[in-house]
A = this chain, B = another copy of it.
Amino acid sequence: MALLPAAVRKFPTKIFRSNVSNINCQLRLQNRPKGLLAPGDLQLIESPVPEIRDGQALARVKYLSIDPTMRLWMAADTYLPAVGVGEVMRAIGFAEIVESRHPDYKKGDRLTGLTGLQEYVILDESAKRSFQKVPKIPFVPDTVFLGVLGVNGLTAFFGMEIAQPKKGDTLVVSAAAGATGSIVGQIGKIHGCRVVGIAGSDDKCAWIAKDLGFDAAINYKHPDWKEKLATATPKGIDIDFENVGGDIMQTVLGRMNLHGRVVLCGLISGYTKGDPGMASFATVLVKRLRVQGFIILDYASRFMEAATQLGHWKMFGKLKDRETIVEGLEKAPDAINMLFTGGNTGKLIVKL
């Protein structure tokens, strides 16, 4: 196949191409989105697959992890600098080395890390900081390294460490059928908590209550969800694992017990609205709550410890997962929007 000059296409456009290619399709940030992503915010670009030099390796991206935080990365500097306009959109992916002149990598090695929304990525000296090798485990899908044993599992693990759950505590988790929330609740059950999940559809609620063993699941789209939350938390709430913010957070805070803990993991309800997570600190004061914001990057030195524990739990059937898989890089913008419209259950993946 001939190497095409770099070209720009609008998505959604299905990419038809043979399995081996010297074109690297990339999604580059073209506009900082307002609200949900619009066509043109991410632009599909065809670049040549880069030649590698000594000390570099080339990896082909197989799966991309689609996470709410990507919407933050598009908007402004936060805990990481914003993605620059014109740059390949930042994303975590699963990739396999296809060619290597790097001493640490050989063909066939498998990694997760900041691949970006593209088909090929160059690994160089700095790769050690942004990529981790992962093993091939029989009967375990590669995508587990993006979910339960990836960023979501790690986030749930360290967030629950901050929560300091005690047996008998009532834990409420929002976005409970999401990739992180679903693991949070299961870790809560491992610790002996009463676990109540808040999710956005009856199907999601059925999954977390029946398959994952949550004690109760509340569909916040039902008009009487606040009463149902009260009924499901008769002893109040000791831990709020907060992924959503806004009215849901405010309602949960209203039922917190004195000296409760709020693990502030995400405020997804505001990410597409320019709403900066406004909520009342008065409840925090009067109920003497501890609110701890956290970002998983701070725990990098302990990822192995956490992954070992998560892998153990997974192996013994204590962490179940579900995936929503979307095929094709060109679908990544739609997939990102799904996170904010409730379209996915469990881990959202783009398969290339």
**Beta-carbon contact of A278 and B277 below 8 Å:** no
Per-position binary interface string of chain A over residues 258-286, scored 1 when its CB falls under 8 Å from any chain B CB and 0 otherwise: 01000011110010000011111111111
A281 and chain B: residue at smallest CB distance: B277
**What is the CA–CA distance of A339 and B292 in the complex, to the nearest angstrom?**
31
Per-position binary interface string of chain A over residues 7-20, scored 1 when its CB falls under 8 Å from any chain B CB and 0 otherwise: 00000000000000
Q: A277-B282, A278-B279, A279-B281 are in contact. Are A293 and B298 (CB under 8 A)?
A: no
A147 within 8 A of B: no
Which of B266, B287, B289 is in CB contact (< 8 Å) with A285? B266
A340 within 8 A of B: no
Which of B266, B280, B283, B294 is in CB contact (< 8 Å) with A288? B294
Which of B72, B259, B287, B293 is in CB contact (< 8 Å) with A284? B293
**What is the CA–CA distance of A9 and B264 in the complex, to the nearest angstrom?**
51
CB distance from A240 to the nearest CB of B (A): 11
**Beta-carbon contact of A292 and B293 below 8 Å:** no
A79 within 8 A of B: yes
A27 within 8 A of B: no
A38 within 8 A of B: no
**What is the CA–CA distance of A273 and B267 in the complex, to the nearest angstrom?**
26
> Which residues of the other chain, B, contact A285 by a CB distance below 8 angstroms?
264-267, 277, 293-295
A249 and chain B: residue at smallest CB distance: B281
A248 within 8 A of B: no
A236 within 8 A of B: no
A291 within 8 A of B: yes
**Beta-carbon contact of B276 and A278 below 8 Å:** no
**Beta-carbon contact of B283 and A280 below 8 Å:** no
**Beta-carbon contact of B276 and A280 below 8 Å:** yes
A288 and chain B: residue at smallest CB distance: B293
CB distance from A287 to the nearest CB of B (A): 6
Which of B264, B278, B281 is in CB contact (< 8 Å) with A245? B281
**Beta-carbon contact of B288 and A291 below 8 Å:** no
> Which residues of the other chain, B, contact A292 by a CB distance below 8 angstroms?
288-291
> Which residues of the other chain, B, contact A293 by a CB distance below 8 angstroms?
281, 284-290
**Beta-carbon contact of B286 and A295 below 8 Å:** yes
A287 and chain B: residue at smallest CB distance: B293
> Which residues of the other chain, B, contact A249 by a CB distance below 8 angstroms?
281
**What is the CA–CA distance of A292 and B276 in the complex, to the nearest angstrom?**
20
For window 227-266 of A, CB contacts with B under 8 Å fall at: 245, 249, 259, 264-266
> Which residues of the other chain, B, contact A266 by a CB distance below 8 angstroms?
285
**What is the CA–CA distance of A298 and B287 in the complex, to the nearest angstrom?**
11
A301 within 8 A of B: no
> Which residues of the other chain, B, contact A279 by a CB distance below 8 angstroms?
278-279, 281
**What is the CA–CA distance of A265 and B294 in the complex, to the nearest angstrom?**
22
**Beta-carbon contact of A280 and B280 below 8 Å:** no
Cβ contacts A to B, 22 pairs, < 8 Å: A72-B286, A79-B286, A79-B288, A249-B281, A259-B298, A264-B281, A264-B284, A264-B285, A265-B285, A266-B285, A267-B281, A276-B280, A276-B282, A277-B282, A277-B284, A278-B278, A278-B280, A285-B293, A286-B295, A288-B298, A290-B293, A291-B291
